[in-house]
Every structure is written in structure tokens, then in C-alpha cells.
Amino acid sequence: MTTEIKFGGFGGQGVILAGIIIGRAASILDHKYATLTQSFGPEARGGACSAQVIISDDKILYPYVTRPEILVAMSQEACNKFLPEAADDATVIIEEDLVKPRGVKPGMSVFAIPATRFAEELGPKMILNIVMVGFFTAVTKLVSHKSVRETVKGSVPLGTETMNLMAFDRGYEYGQALV
């Protein structure tokens, strides 16, 4: 089984790190194959940004996402740009305060979380990506909870592990309540 995932947002939201965490958890701890490609504008913050992750039980021969089965949109611009590319039955995960999806196909499943609000309750809003990673983990069940949580701990700056794990847990719990 192969799953194509696209994370989209703007620079400064941690979009690339979210993709890295999911790919690492899948490949290193869940023993699957994974690829990551990334795209970002020349701006340091505020520009368009995306991470494309493929997770598979078999070797991946082509590393680029062509029709995402899972779309994570953390900005309206990302949703507008990537939703038309998504599979007709895609799972669409959005930051509900920043994204209002238009053009959702009848077979798509949309899951929304106020990730920025949750992040601000826990600390700086920049941890919204980790809230989204927790939510992604609960909603998709593509990568194991244990693997992703462990990868979060090893992927964030030293001294921020506790705060980031709280962000992951908050997103995961919110997702668990929805599915």
C-alpha cells in the first residue's frame, strides 16, 4: 500500500518539519518506506511552502506526489492551490481558523482542528505544526502513535521537548474524539 501526502502552508508554520516527522516515524520506527520532497518560496517567512511525503510498504520508485490522498492545509493559500490536485476520496485536514475549504469533492473527508488556538494555549503559536502532526496521526492512523510521538521528541529543539509533546498529545486527543 502506498499513500501520497501533501502538507501545505506558509513559511514559519513548520510545514517541512511536520512532513519530516511523519516520514521519519514511518521509515525508521514503523519500518516502512518513505520519501520527502519539499518546496518553498524565497522568503524566510510568509511565503508558500509544502512538503510532499510518500509512505509505502514497498520500495518507492517515484518520489513526487502526483495526487495526494491526504492533504494537510495550514493556510488558505495552500488549500486553494492543493485541494484541486487531491484525490477524489482524499482525507483533507485543515487548520480551522485559517482555512475555509472551497471545492471539496463529494467523496472527500474533511477534518478540522483549531491548531493555532491550541498552540497558543500551550505556548508559542509556532508549535501549531506539532498539534497538526498529532491530529494527523489520530485521524489517518497511517503511522503509529508511539512512533510519531517518539519522533517528535527527537526532532524538536533541545529544551522544547515537553511543550512539543504536549502539543502533539493535544492534537492527537482532539483527533481521537472525532474518529
The CATH number covering residue 167 comes to 3.40.920.10
For residue 28, give its domain range. Answer: 2-178
pLDDT tens profile 109-154? 999 999 999 999 999 999 999 999 999 999 999 999 999 999 999 9
Mean pLDDT of 57-76: 96
pLDDT of residue 135: 98
Indicate the number of domains in the chain.
Answer: 1
Is residue 44's pLDDT more than 80? Answer: no
The contacts of residue 57 (CB under 8 Å, 6+ apart) are 1, 2, 32, 33
- Report whether 98 contacts 75 (CB < 8 A): yes
pLDDT at 12 over 90: no
Radius of gyration of the chain (CA): 15
